[in-house]
Homo-oligomer: A and B are copies of this chain.
Amino acid sequence: MSDYLQRMQKPRNVYVNGEPVSHLSRHPMFCGAIRFINRYYELQQQDPAVHLVNHEYAASLLIPRSIEDLRQKGRSYKAVADTSYGMLGRTPDFINSAIAAIASHAEALGRDQYCDYAHNARRYYDYCRENNLYVSHAAINPQVDRSRALSELRSPSAGVRVTHYDSNGITVSGAKMIATLTPVSDEVLIFNMPGLTENDKDFAIAFTLDVTDPNLRMLCRKTLTYPEHSPLDHPIANLFDEIDCLLLLDNVQVPWERVLIFRDVEKSNAFYDRTKARNHTGHQGIIRGQAKAELLTGVATRIAQTLGLDRFLHVQEKLGRMTTSLDLLKGAIQLAENAATIDDHGVCNPDISAIQAIRYHFPLWYKDMQQTIQSLCAGSMLSIPDAVTLGVLPPQQQDELFDPYRTALLNLGWDLTGDGFGQRQMVYEIYHAGDPLRIAAKHHQEYDKRDLLATLDQLLHSSCQERNHD
């Protein structure tokens, strides 16, 4: 049994259906995810050249110094993503890449009278690296009323706030939503996305937590797997549920060495950007997205072949929209790596502009891919009897209609597009990196438009001048 699987034996406060779950690895809602997360560790054994640095530590924790380093990390990301067809968004390499970024830009965290946060970040990196840990994260505050600031909300669960602090550390209470896979991780990094206002000081914190902390409760959403159904009925939904949960913190004690930001709104808002964490988690994310898009393209292609649809021009166009999108994705991933720059810390950061460009467009491509699959299957997805029923049918030779491959294929189509599994994947792609509307708005603001505008002004001034000479 791997170290990770052993660590998963440790009890933690996970609630499902109002009951605490005692053995996660035997529970149908968690065993799939644990098995797939464990593949991340297995790959380190099977292919250390790709997944380890100097046979020592995880490639995702490599602090990249060159574009070639980024490419190595990229190869590891892709192989990890392929194990779950890109459907597990929060594999260990995701936050690992952030932990490495934060440690290598630790000065951004600074120090104050209580603590040297930069030092904390570097030590935490060492700790994760030595123990090959799986760190999850929780950043999103429950959506109570988006038109008001955190500090204006009455709900005690509006976010996580400091309620007390002394020389030992800080005490925090409150909630975070959409903590993905935290129940099956070792650690959780808690922080905020930008947008806090100056009155939100008590919320402006970042810290790490051992997920077995007794004052941390993880309330899971309803599961999206069907334990009573065979893999033939749900070829992918039943592989794993990338469970999301609501974290409730009830007077959790956090020692100072685990604190990264303390009551500092400016640092909190700049956290993800200044540490370059978003560049590196973004890099992992877009590569993982490729694995996902490849599965959907394969599924659509095969369904069109199987149902005799691929001879129609308008179907071919839809399939071609998928392959062309794949090419755009590959090109933009290359751009993110090739346009990477080495900063003052000697760290090579993927180009955030290319990453955010993908993050704006990928959900649109993904939605379109889903809809193509839905349109190819049309009603057929809804006419598949379950596997047990199929099994009791009298054997009808040559009856393509009951062919298990065809059945699995159409059921996969439903899992990916019609079932809760597929829709969660969609919602995940649209929102996991922030509201696309704001991603685009920020892309415009941060884009280097000087050359574009200089060219334009030259044209316009020439128009104005020629007029004067007329």
Q: Which residues of A contact B (CB under 8 A)?
A: 15-19, 82, 85, 140, 142-148, 153-158, 175, 177-178, 219-222, 226, 229-233, 235-236, 244-246, 294-295, 297-299, 301-302, 307-309, 311-314, 316-328, 330-336, 338, 353-354, 356-358, 360-361, 374-375, 378-389, 391-392, 396, 398-402, 404-405, 408-409, 411-412, 414, 417-420, 422-424, 426-427, 430-431, 435, 437-445, 447, 449, 451-453, 455-456, 459-464, 466-467, 470
Contact = CB atoms under 8 A, between A and B. Distances in A.
Contacts of A301: 444, 449, 452-453
Contact of A335 (B158, B295, B330, B418): B330
Nearest to A148: B308
B140 A389 contact: no
B464 A405 contact: yes
Given A177-B383, A320-B440, A391 B459 contact: no
B385 A219 contact: yes
A466 B320 contact: no
B143 A307 contact: yes
Contacts of A412: 459-460, 463
A328 B361 contact: yes
A392 B217 CA distance: 13
B460 A409 contact: yes
A143 B324 CA distance: 28
A380 B323 CA distance: 30
B353 A327 contact: yes
A177 B428 CA distance: 33
B222 A386 contact: yes
Contacts of A313: 314, 437-438, 441
Best-surrounded residue of A17, A333, A375, A402 (most CB of chain B within 10 A): A17
A58 B177 CA distance: 51
A375 B28 CA distance: 30
A300 B68 CA distance: 37
B155 A456 contact: no
A464 B388 CA distance: 12
Given A85-B459, A316-B444, A374-B427, A400 B295 contact: no
A59 to B, nearest CB: 22
Nearest to A398: B154
Given A232-B463, A423-B423, A462-B231, A15 B389 contact: yes
6 contacts: A147-B309, A319-B441, A320-B440, A324-B357, A332-B332, A334-B338
A383 B244 CA distance: 7
Best-surrounded residue of A328, A331, A453 (most CB of chain B within 10 A): A331
Contact of A470 (B154, B230, B449): B230
A316 B308 CA distance: 22
Contacts of A453: 298, 301-302
Best-surrounded residue of A19, A333, A336, A419 (most CB of chain B within 10 A): A419
A144 to B, nearest CB: 6
A21 to B, nearest CB: 11
A385 B178 CA distance: 11
Contacts of A441: 313, 316-317, 319-320
